[in-house]
Amino acid sequence: MKSTPPPVLPIDAGSPHGDRASSRSRRCVLVFIALVLLLLVRFPDIASFKRFIPSAESEHDFGSGCAQPDPLFPSNHPELDKAFEHISSESFRNATIRRLSGAVQVRTESFDDLGAIGEDPRWDVFYDFHQYLEKTFPLIHEKLLVEKVNTHGLLYTWKGSDESLKPTLLMAHQDTVPVPPETVPDWTYPPWSGAYDGKNIWGRGASDCKNQLIAAMETLELLLEAGFQPKRTILLSFGFDEECSGTRGASHLAAFIQERYGKDGIAVIVDEGSSFEYAWGTLFAKPGTAEKGYTDVHITVRAPGGHSSVPTDHTSIGILSELITRIESEQYRTRLVDSNPYYTQLQCGAAYSPEFPSKLKKLLRRRLSSASSPHGTCKAKPDHLALEAAKQGPAIKYLMQTSQAVDVISGGIKVNALPERATAVVNHRINIGETTQVVKDRLAVLAGAVARKHNLTLHAFDGKEEPSSIILSPSAHELEAAPVTPADGSIRGPFSVLAGTTRALYGEEVVVTPGIMTGNTDTRYYWDLTRHIFRFAPGLDPEDGPGLGAIHTVDERVSVLNHVNSVKWFTLFVRNMDEAEL
């Protein structure tokens, strides 16, 4: 027979269970009253109490880290204003198309294996380019001081009336990367034709960076025609081997300029670089205020040779492959220090972009509240802000991470002979806040483990080499991360002039934020000349897609609107700098 469970009685004040419940309630009330009294003592007024509680009203003011200066226009001047208006005319458009097209047609390739200047005839193309510039811009060559530095470097000087003002320096480079012959059939228009299709000018150098060089020359020619008399000296510096590291061009030009004007003797430098980008529903102008560092590490594995019919368990190629696998199995950590310009870009996005991701904003607010960058060794805690931002893709991730790329490998000479030597080159671009030593230390650890496993000797950056060893050798052109240019739009300075000029030309909806270059320009040699270096391509065509006009590849081109806007920007910027009290 099924038994009937006893009835469940309600708990009441008279039951033992009710006494315990009542006691718990009284304790909760007492604890609540104590907490209220404690908060009243800690926060005697409602305002201080509000600051304690996170709310929409207490959100960080992201705009304070991304101040936008007002549009900056130069003073009214009838002749100069008329010259500026002329840039928008059909006659100027047609003329500048011809001038840029002609510049592209002069084949100024630079090669990694160029011999000495004066001995290797491939340098002679720059004589032709100089003649083209002299013919195309006669006033500049008549009125300004033109100097040749190390034969092909060009330095133009328009002396200002006030020698107490530091000069404005505009840069570009004359050379282009080569066009591989096998790619010529793939071009829409021949690569040295300078063809114009009604929208774009096509050809090698059209967007890297003869457009910037010609825009700077157009600016000075126009200002000369209009009778401009600068107070601040204006310099144009054009290297000729930027595409092979600038050792013969920019390095000599920088030394020449520093000898004349001294260390920190230049007010501002503008060179080629980053441009505009739509992100989070907002148009950003991103002048590069920093560059990542650079180093190549050469790895050599030496192992015994012999006949391949009686092989060793692991040849030099196999050992090198194992080391490469270890290198690629783990990336450098993603880390965003406060000095990295991308940290400011995030603040600009949070302040002005309606589509800025909420999770990213939350992490950014937390970082700003803590007021500290992630520091320490590779075993430090993860940088959650950087990791979340990196989800936008590799182009963003590598703004906050040292990159590694195994780009060159070789080994072996015959199929039946064991390779006695195998080599590889690993390219690195060093993150802001890190150094080339970080790379060397990591590779020494990885190579040491492989060397011990295979009973080899390790020579890590000691300049030694011997049989049965792994040798790590440094780059011939090692470069630490560039000094970061000051970029506070709320302070009167070169950045606020650049930002104000950009907003004057393109409208106040453009947000100007400091950018970062993953590559390096000729400015690597100009660090001692000024703290204010901007790597910026100021032309904008709203119809242009992402990217930089297919630079270094097939169908390089630039839109005419982009180019004309570059001339407008340089014209405004030169005049604004001339009037700036810096």
- CA-to-CA distance for 254 and 247, rounded, in angstroms? 11
Amino acid at 5: P
Residue 242 designated active-site: yes
Question: Based on C-alpha coordinates, what's the Rg of the chain?
Answer: 31
Residue in 518, 519, 559 with CA at minimum distance from that of residue 541: 559
- CA-to-CA distance for 250 and 241, rounded, in angstroms? 8
Residue in 218, 241, 242, 434 annotated catalytic: 242
Is 403 in a helix, a strand, or coil? strand
- 173 in a labelled binding site: yes
Q: Are 516 and 341 in contact (CB under 8 A)?
A: yes
- 252 in a labelled binding site: no
Is 299 in a helix, a strand, or coil? strand
Which strands make up the sheet holding 282-285, listed edge to edge? 276-279, 282-285, 511-512
Residue in 175, 241, 541, 578 annotated catalytic: 175
Query: Residue 153 has which token pair?
Result: 């470097």
- CA-to-CA distance for 345 and 336, rounded, in angstroms? 12
Is 157 in a helix, a strand, or coil? strand
**C-alpha to C-alpha distances, 562 to 151, 276, 428, nearest whole angstrom:** 32, 11, 32
Pairing of strands 168-173, 234-239: parallel
Residue in 137, 117, 118 with CA at minimum distance from that of residue 129: 137
- 552 in a labelled binding site: yes
- 243 in a labelled binding site: yes
Residue 465 designated active-site: no
- CA-to-CA distance for 261 and 264, rounded, in angstroms? 8
256 CB-near residues (< 8 Å, 6+ apart): 147, 149, 153, 155
**C-alpha to C-alpha distances, 12 to 17, 21, 23, 25, 94, nearest whole angstrom:** 8, 9, 13, 14, 96
Classify each residue of 170-195 as buried b or exposed e, where b means 16 or more C-beta atoms within 10 Å of its C-beta.
bbbbbbbbebeeeeeeebebebbebb
Is 291 in a helix, a strand, or coil? strand
Instruction: Report residue 51 CA to chain centroid gap.
Output: 38
The two most distant CA atoms of the chain are separated, in Å, by: 121
191 CB-near residues (< 8 Å, 6+ apart): 179, 184, 202, 203, 204, 556
Query: Residue 381 has which token pair?
Result: 């805690």
Between the two ends of the chain, the Cα-to-Cα distance in Å is 102
Q: Are 214 and 130 in contact (CB under 8 A)?
A: no
474 CB-near residues (< 8 Å, 6+ apart): 295, 296, 297, 298, 436, 440, 461
- CA-to-CA distance for 285 and 502, rounded, in angstroms? 8
Annotated binding site for Zn(2+): 173, 208, 243, 271, 552
Residues annotated as catalytic are: 175, 242
Instruction: Give the residue ranges of the annotated binding site.
Output: 173, 208, 243, 271, 552
